[in-house]
Amino acid sequence: MKKIKHFLRDLNSYILIIIGALLASFSVACILLPNDAIDYGTAGIAIIISKMTGFRLSICVLCVVLPFLLIGMIYLGRVFCIKAVIGSVVYMVGLDYFEHIPFSLNTEHFLAVAFGGALLGAGLSLILKFGGCIDGSEILANVIIKKLSDKTGRNYSMNVILIAFNALVYTAAFFLIDRNAALLSLLVYVVATTIIDHFTDHFEAIKQVRIITKKPEEMIRGIREDLGKTCTIMDTYGAIAGENKTLICYVNYFELQKLRELIERFEEPSFTTISTIDEVIR
């Protein structure tokens, strides 16, 4: 029964990642590009290359995102890589398909771009919420944060890295494509990230995970071996369950997906809460 439950949960996550990738590709191909705006992250780089060279957009996306997917496979694990590959492939196929679909919004550029950004944000929210990713900048930011955390023992937010990466993308769009395109694309970024933050509870922020269990040893070992993280252990007491242990661990959004899978592997019942942390002071 438990295996069936996990299979259905995994199947549901893959289906929603595919739906999210289709929404994102439709938004980019049918709304943003016809209205002189571009996506952000590595997709934005691919669009700039496509506009400057005339190459097919889907091929440019593949060439740009492939190195990041390989990096993600090495540092972020097999499950994440499978979901990222599925999302990216569907996104590229969607771009190739929707580019040839006659579709137009009979409205102002500003309104069309705002709507396209919201639709893009909704699609990316689905992908991120269910453990996938189609943007190489997020993979890069996660790897950099992981390296910094391993070296310094501190927790960092991905926000600064993502903002810096996208600032470079929009600067390139400003000088290489068109000033208006760069400004409209900035609107896409603001709208899309607002939608993503709402549905993923600020995915770029640090997450505090509290795990209450009676047998913490295997959980602690898994956190150390699978995530390379440590945790704080507290003696706690439940009114019904009695004595137990509370583990407190700090992870980023992508590590959170691996931690969820780790928790679900254990037979011992546990109670877990997750909260967003704006800052950790040491």
Residue 282: its pLDDT value, please? Answer: 63
C-alpha 8/C-alpha 12 separation (Å) is 6
Q: What is the DSSP letter of 34?
A: G
Mean pLDDT score, 230-248? 85
Token pair recorded at residue 248? 């407190």
Question: What 3-state DSSP class applies to 213?
Answer: strand
> Which H/E stretch holds residue 92?
helix 78-98
Mean pLDDT score, 113-118? 91
- Residue 277: pLDDT band with limits 50, 70, 90: confident
- Residue 256: pLDDT band with limits 50, 70, 90: confident
Name the nearest CA neighbour of 128 among 276, 256, 31, 274.
256
CA angle 173, 177, 181 (to 5 degrees): 70
The domain ranges of the chain are 2-200, 206-277
Architecture per CATH, 206-277: 2-Layer Sandwich (3.30)
- Residue 1: pLDDT band with limits 50, 70, 90: low
> Which H/E stretch holds residue 145?
helix 136-152
Residue 141: its pLDDT value, please? Answer: 85
Residue 63 pLDDT more than 90? yes
Residue 31 pLDDT more than 80? yes
Residue 192 pLDDT more than 70? yes
Percentage with pLDDT > 90 across the chain: 26
